[in-house]
A and B are shown apart, each in its own frame.
Chain A
Amino acid sequence: MKLLTRSEEYILLAVWKLQDDAYSIPIQQKLNEITGKEWSLGGIYMPLERLEKRGQLMSMLSESTPERGGRHKRIYKLTPSGKKALRQIYEVQQTIWDGIPQLMFGMS
């Protein structure tokens, strides 16, 4: 199975964390918060769409809300396959970080 890219990983994690409120704008805000840089909406739509196509995310329309001009939200949810993919990338990272001396952090 293909590994997740960094942005896919972040997005999946953000969706997971946001739980029931996981739609485009909060996801974007979350990412801005975590990474400290400005994510564009387009930069979120593309991976979201890709992840959904791959079956790692699923989405549903919420009730319409007045603050969005009466339009629906598309709420995302992690699928088991998405969780699996996250676990996989986590393991890969752990393995890679293994053996990197603690000293490194001391240097900075």
Chain B
Amino acid sequence: MNNRPPKLAEKILGKLLYDDVWKTTLGDFEEYYFYLVEKEGKKIATKWYWQQVLKYAPSKIIHKIYWSIGMFKNYIKVAFRTLRKQKSYSFINIFGLAIGLSCFVLIGLFIQYELSYDTFHEYSDRTYRVISENPGNSYLGLDGSSVTPVPMAATMKQDYPEVEYASYFGNSKSLLINGEHSFLESGVAADGDFFNIFSYQWYKGNAETALTDPNSIILTSTLATKLFGDENPIGQSIDQVYSNGNSITKTITGVIADPPEYSHFDFQYVVNNQSSPYYEYNVKVWSNTGVYTFLTLREGVSAQSFSEKLSDFADTYILTSRYYKSNPDKSPIHALQSLEDIHLKSSQLNYNPFAPSDIKFVYMFAIIAVIILLIACVNYMNLSTARSLTRAKEVGVRKAIGAIRSNLMMQFISEAIVISLLSVLVATLIIVGFLPIFSDLVDRELTPHIFLSWGFWGFIIATSFLVGILSGSYPAFFMSKLKPALILKSQVKGGRGNTFFRNSLVVVQFTITIVLVISSIVVLQQLDYIRTTDTGLERDQIISISSTDPELWDSYKTLEQELLKNPSIESISTAQHQPTAVTSRTTLTEWDELDIEKELQIYISPVGFNFIELFGIEIIAGRSFSEELYNENSADFLLNEAALKELGWTAQEAIGKPFKAWGNEGTIVGVVKDFNFLSLYQDIAPLTLMLNPINNQRYVLAKLSSGDMEETIASIQTIFKEFSPTFPFSYSFLDDNYTNLYASDLRLGKIFNYFTLLALIIACLGLFGLATFVTQQRTKEIGIRKVLGATLFQIIALLNKDFLKLVGISFLIATPIGWYLAQNWLEDFAFKISISPLVFFAAGSITFGIALLTISYKSLKTANANPIDSLQSE
């Protein structure tokens, strides 16, 4: 039997009773322990031994803290003295770190906001959206889909015991009329457990019963105020006008708070989908996907296993429908997507309700945040190691009077922490000042509420401590190593290792900076390419006016004539889709008169007369649409080159062939040159333009002549109001619509520029500090050189050479990294620039130039100094 006291306890006691007097105590304890083992047994003895640990711990710890505080006070005092003594270093350190920290916090806030999407729903952790993968049936380049058929939710709830709540909703945009007031609002048409799954704050009414009646409508508080002012809206009725022109009277059964911004879908009202004119049809049809199905699983149900169970859902339910019986290979595979993931992880899914973000941006931001903070930390490390020589005497004296290495390390780390805490103060000011600008930049409503939360301050303090420890550790390590005897005899020189370390840090800093500069240039070039490239579709001075008012379309001919009376309107046309985003597609199958080898998925855009001319689309064969040759009973089609290529026809062959789309039969009258009807992320796909002057059109397109735009638009609005008094007038410029397709990348480009600039500033601050130090060290040398006849230029070259070499090395390292990253980003685009070597040249010269200016400021001053000043004092 082992009769030694417990090892761990012995160790702890050994640490607690550290000084001379206590050395014997441990022995006493051990002897007494044996005595107890013999007398009372091992158990009691061991218990007693542990009790001693507890007994001695508190007083010893307090004792230790008491003495550390004394020392710490001294460290702080010295830290502040050093700060005051070397103002420019202090400024560079504190300011650089503050910039780094504020970027870090701002980006942190943004990331936290992004991750908070949809978490406010009570059951968000067990609520899922049913998504599907449709192999071989890709649309807009993706085969994932976020929409599902209407009957799915009810079936899920009925047939799967794991499902606690099930609901679906579809987007709805309709005109709401309360007497005189009418508003075009977007909302959702939902069914089932909508309000059980999604938790909103209820001002009036309640979640359980509000949606039961088919004719109920729930308003957000904003819309309720808009429609009813201060009146109580509950029980009042309003008319909802559907897109087919029918209107249904709805009763208000609830008012809820506006859905928060951090929600993946937004609405102003919720109606019961059962009142929809299409409900009776949709509720039975499995082949029509158009709504978002949500499930809340019972507690304890694993989403993974349930998701697997869903993989044959299609076989059981969907394949029984007529459409899939004849197309069984198009069967979708269903899976679950967590509600909390929708905002960030939907980039592979079509039909997202609102522009979701991408987890890729979150990662990118996180990396930038860490990098900028790192560059700022490197500054600190670099400057303090560089300065270490000037403080070598202090270290020597401290060591001589008995400071051990850990004391010195503590001192330097606490100095770094002092600096980082000071920069927290500065950073807080920067954050408060820049939060609105940053919010605007990332297009999120970030609020400074966070400053009131303890967690935030905890985070800030923890970060600054971490930064302090991180950036103070190398200087601490280096300085504490110095040998006192040598220092005091002034024989210490900056060792090779020290210089090498410093240089490596500069190289790391500049590598990162140059990579950022390269990336920004490429992003800027690509964005510029997007803005200026000829997509084959004119978009200057064209406005698109959207209207779903059936009355307006009934009298469209007259409207057109009225509009054309205005000389500032050059031409007018109509379309069913925004010409920059044609998203409708149909399948071309073989039929009697059309002989094709395989089915063809083809995008279709019904357009009016003049469309081709208005947009300057080039006809390469056949003719354009023409009013004279228009025949109501036969549709005219134009095909693009991509469609011909897929069909294997030449332009000449195509013209005059019979064609059919969406049940409209007719002939191909011409071939148009390929133009981008989707974003530049996608290749140009097969497309047919179908002549359809008025029926079911959504947009009136007008090309304006240059002149007073606002006046022209105002006059258009007046005319529209005559034809469509109830519907609001809403228009957009086509070039805005076009750039909006790239909103997220445009934003990315902007943000990238800012951060690149910041990285450059911080890196240069560091370089400046280092240059100051080195020139100071070499003042005497320069004095002697000048006396011996060195020219100003020679001296500047001498001083700059070393630094520029480092920037040069960074450039060599940064080039391949930058190229790789930029190339990676460009992969997303089907239409893109090729990265020219000039980019690297430009990035190199920019960085090099700025670095040169930074150092030269210092070296010029030194080189210009009178050698007498530097040499007379010894």
**Interface on A for B, CB 8 Å cutoff?**
23-25, 28-29, 41-42, 45, 49, 61, 65, 67-69, 71-74
- Chain B's closest residue to A49 (CB) is B21
Rounded to whole angstroms, the CA-CA distance of A57 and B55 in the bound complex is: 26
User: Could you tell me if A69 and B28 are in contact, using CB atoms closer than 8 angstroms?
Assistant: no
Q: Does B4 contact A (CB under 8 A)?
A: yes
- Chain B's closest residue to A45 (CB) is B25
Given A25-B35, A42-B55, A69-B4, residue A61 in contact with residue B30 (CB < 8 A): no
User: Could you tell me if B24 and A41 are in contact, using CB atoms closer than 8 angstroms?
Assistant: no
- Chain B's closest residue to A24 (CB) is B28
User: Could you tell me if A41 and B29 are in contact, using CB atoms closer than 8 angstroms?
Assistant: yes
Contacts of B25 in A (CB 8 A): 24, 45
User: Could you tell me if A69 and B32 are in contact, using CB atoms closer than 8 angstroms?
Assistant: no
- Chain A's closest residue to B28 (CB) is A24
Q: Does B27 contact A (CB under 8 A)?
A: yes
User: Could you tell me if A67 and B31 are in contact, using CB atoms closer than 8 angstroms?
Assistant: yes
Contacts of B596 in A (CB 8 A): none
Not counting A41-B52, A71-B23, a sample of 10 additional A-B residue pairs whose C-beta atoms are within 8 angstroms of each other reads A23-B24, A24-B28, A28-B32, A41-B29, A41-B32, A68-B27, A69-B4, A71-B27, A72-B23, A73-B24
* Contact residue among B4, B21, B23, B28 (Cβ-Cβ distance under 8 Å from A41): B28
Task: Return the 6 tightest CB-CB contacts between A and B, nearest first.
Answer: A71-B27, A68-B27, A74-B24, A24-B28, A25-B31, A69-B30
Rounded to whole angstroms, the CA-CA distance of A42 and B30 in the bound complex is: 14
Contacts of B52 in A (CB 8 A): 41
Q: Does B681 contact A (CB under 8 A)?
A: no
Rounded to whole angstroms, the CA-CA distance of A29 and B391 in the bound complex is: 57
Contacts of A41 in B (CB 8 A): 28-29, 32, 52
Q: Does B113 contact A (CB under 8 A)?
A: no
Q: Does B361 contact A (CB under 8 A)?
A: no
Q: Does B198 contact A (CB under 8 A)?
A: no
Q: Does B438 contact A (CB under 8 A)?
A: no
Rounded to whole angstroms, the CA-CA distance of A61 and B28 in the bound complex is: 13
Rounded to whole angstroms, the CA-CA distance of A45 and B29 in the bound complex is: 12
- Chain B's closest residue to A27 (CB) is B28
User: Could you tell me if B27 and A73 are in contact, using CB atoms closer than 8 angstroms?
Assistant: yes
Contacts of A67 in B (CB 8 A): 31, 34
User: Could you tell me if A68 and B55 are in contact, using CB atoms closer than 8 angstroms?
Assistant: no
Task: Give chain B nearest CB distance to A35 CB in angstroms.
Answer: 17
User: Could you tell me if B30 and A68 are in contact, using CB atoms closer than 8 angstroms?
Assistant: yes
Task: Give chain A nearest CB distance to B329 CB in angstroms.
Answer: 80
Q: What are 11 pairs between A and B in contact, CB < 8 Å?
A: A23-B24, A25-B35, A41-B52, A61-B24, A68-B27, A69-B4, A69-B26, A71-B30, A72-B24, A72-B27, A73-B28
Contacts of B21 in A (CB 8 A): 49
Rounded to whole angstroms, the CA-CA distance of A65 and B28 in the bound complex is: 11
Rounded to whole angstroms, the CA-CA distance of A72 and B31 in the bound complex is: 11
Q: Mark B13-28, 1 if CB is under 8 A from A, else 0.
A: 0000000010111111
- Chain B's closest residue to A65 (CB) is B27
Contacts of B55 in A (CB 8 A): 42
Task: Give chain B nearest CB distance to A62 CB in angstroms.
Answer: 9
- Chain A's closest residue to B31 (CB) is A25
Task: Give chain A nearest CB distance to B829 CB in angstroms.
Answer: 74
Contacts of A24 in B (CB 8 A): 24-25, 28
Contacts of A74 in B (CB 8 A): 24
Rounded to whole angstroms, the CA-CA distance of A100 and B24 in the bound complex is: 45
- Chain A's closest residue to B4 (CB) is A69
Rounded to whole angstroms, the CA-CA distance of A72 and B4 in the bound complex is: 17
Task: Give chain B nearest CB distance to A48 CB in angstroms.
Answer: 11
Rounded to whole angstroms, the CA-CA distance of A78 and B29 in the bound complex is: 23
Task: Give chain A nearest CB distance to B849 CB in angstroms.
Answer: 69
Given A41-B29, A42-B55, residue A71 in contact with residue B24 (CB < 8 A): yes
Task: Give chain B nearest CB distance to A56 CB in angstroms.
Answer: 17
Rounded to whole angstroms, the CA-CA distance of A15 and B593 in the bound complex is: 123
Task: Give chain B nearest CB distance to A97 CB in angstroms.
Answer: 35
Contacts of B32 in A (CB 8 A): 25, 28, 41
Rounded to whole angstroms, the CA-CA distance of A23 and B24 in the bound complex is: 10
Contacts of A69 in B (CB 8 A): 4, 26-27, 30
Rounded to whole angstroms, the CA-CA distance of A41 and B35 in the bound complex is: 12
- Chain B's closest residue to A69 (CB) is B30
Q: Which of B2-56 contact A (CB under 8 A)?
A: 4, 21, 23-32, 34-35, 52, 55
